Structure 1
Amino acid sequence: MQQISSAATPHLVRTLNANRLLQYAWDTEAFTATDAIQETGLTRSTVLSVCADLVERGWLHELDDARAAGQYSLGRPARRYAFRADAGAFVGVDSGQHRVTARITDLRGTELARMSREIRGALDTAPDRLLMTESTVDAALAAAAVTADAVLAIVLGVPAPTDADGASPEGADGFWPRMNPGFAEKFAHRGWRVIVENDANLAAIAEGAVGAGVGFSSFVSLLAGERFGMGIIADGMLVRGAHGAAGELHLLDYVQGVGSADGLARLARTWAGEARAAGLLAGTALETASEAEDVFAAAQAGDTEALVITARLALLLARVCVVIGGMLDAESIIIGGAVAPAAAALLDATALHLAEFSHGPAPALIASPLGGDAVGLGAIYRGLALVRSDPLAFALATS
């Protein structure tokens, strides 16, 4: 690696050199100037000068020298430095249809605290959703003992398309504005960098970073709980579309045998309710059950009516996946969301239907190992990528 040319302006040279060294420090533990020289290609004088500047700004701290640390005993002791992961924080929010979860992490993405609250009934209005999300974030910050001025960025995942400014369109039924009731403007008033992103897009980011998408250059993350929504990774890049709606699946309203974007969890509850009303569940494990997970558990135990429901779900999911696979030529479709662990039992039957329906190679179906954490994790990784792209544009509260 070559040092930045001196033909550039001195300020630009210093900034580029500082960014290069900071990226190295971010991914390593304690290091000496010699270590940094070998990894960055910078000169010793540049490394020492940049390290001093980053210490002053709060990004690094100087440790005991190598002799004091017991690494060697002869010669002049080398200075040792380490990245300050505690110098700032990220906030990642999964603002789902029925639950809002906020997590706080340090600058390496290590979770410090998490807070979650239900959104039900009368509270499911745009103003109440906004207030509850704010209070959940504040409670998580308090639990993490992180002050508001330490937050560098907040990323919020919502079940709605979002544009570059974090706003969602009106839509036909008012659902999208209720799910995203002005989050970008509200949190920007705190002086934080704010990103509001579609939840399936964030789930796709998480799958590519630490989930079932690792090693795949092109895949789809299909959130399948209350509503179907997909995040698309093509050639390693997130596909958002002109208005942020590339992963919206309202087209399922027109797919024979599907008919709506209702997801597996909602359909499992609905179909169990219909069977109960028809008197089919008397004396079964589902007679008083109310959650989708109960349906899947009963099917695993061999309950006849639960098996009927899960067979219907497997067929419907195959129809959804053949549409996605046919449009996108996806290498794999990762079934995600909180329902993923329970729905994993559907995938063998779904794959059989999918092979029958597909005109070409069928995409592989994989249950997400991240489950209900995917959106929140994706929010953290998105915030981390934002700050790492230009870290010196952010002022640390400790500097």
Structure 2
Amino acid sequence: MFYQLYELNHAAIQPFRAYADAVKLFYSNPLNPFSHTPWGRSVAAMAELFERTTRRYGKPSFDLPTTVVDWKTVPVSERIVWSRPFCNLIHFERALPARREKKDPKLLIVAPMSGHYATLLRGTVEAMMPHAEVYITDWVDARMVPVSEGRFDLDDYIDYVIDMLHALGTDTHVMAVCQPSVPVLAAVSVMEARGDRYAPSSMTLMGGPIDTRRNPTAVNLLAEEKGIDWFRDNVIMQAPWPDPGFGRSVYPGFLQLSGFMSMNLDRHIIAHKEFFLHLVKNDGDSAEKHRDFYDEYLAVMDLTAEFYLQTVETVFVRHDLPKGRMRHRGELVDPGAIRNVALFTVEGENDDISGVGQTQASHDLCVNIPADMRAHYLQPAVGHYGVFNGSRFRSEIVPRIVDFITSHGRENRPAVKPRIVRVAKG
């Protein structure tokens, strides 16, 4: 019922939002003399601020029409190469010369399924395209998936990752950003234990909650304090009519967004205050940067209830993976089975979502990966977002990822060590 009330409230203020939009257009029109005065710009700024803070933000586009390869600008086209009800796999296909000798590695970027769309990683994709054939998981808003398509939980997520690696073929590299670090590590563990020849050549885990007992953040402590029953009773709702997923149990994106914003509420309030002042001062560049960031940040999607609850319980409450108790379809997930997949982990010094050491913990679990096939990097002076986006990501993290991927492609390795299939006891 709460979700329906939220939708009703959004619909009720639609006339006010339309009026604010009209006021903004009137007082920002250059033909209106008031638009050239501080008073007129203040009215337009107030109207825009109201409209932006009450609107629903739709899914943004990647909007990456070109990239630079070998110092030349080449066109890029988005193409869906694999599709399931809850995810599409997008290939950013570069129009490279047919006779180009160098073959770039295939890179599967697994985007977070944690409330934001995959476009949150637009900067990650843009930075990697000059160096690799980039594919990204484009997760579908759960409220847009009819109930007839069935459920989707953490086990399904792991199956999706495995299926995508099969679809991309051998010698693929995988990168998991934040939340998918756990299911990606689980998927690779399962594939190696089965002797799957489509296991990736390398996996890069970035700012992920592998072991949230290390340097727990506010997010981690909340999950442990409340327990899974609290989340089931307080944050799970039914997708409202007339959405295609009407009746599906979901964790609404607006609740996830509220939680994230409340952690740094003062920062967001200051950002909107500065946005207002930039508009009054007619500082268009600074105002546009604010719009670009919040157009992405405020665009959210719903998660299926079963996926959200299983993830919270498995990763944040019971810590099943670091304790050696995580299972996939009844099969024990054993990171010790990984022997032939290189491991690179990246963390941010000021990360307030996944604390320092939580991602690095994967090295303690993957005990059978040789020392020359693993590396860890702690990026100074960046928070969670800076681990996969921003100037430091482009200048300091990307070169390390590219070097690691290039060094651990199948063609650059000695003979592949035999995989050992382990059978869980009990």
Q: TM-score, normalised by structure 2?
A: 0.25
Q: TM-score, normalised by structure 1?
A: 0.27
Which gives a bigger RCO, structure 1 or 2 (Cα 8 Å, sep 6+)?
2
| Larger CA Rg, structure 1 vs 2 | 1
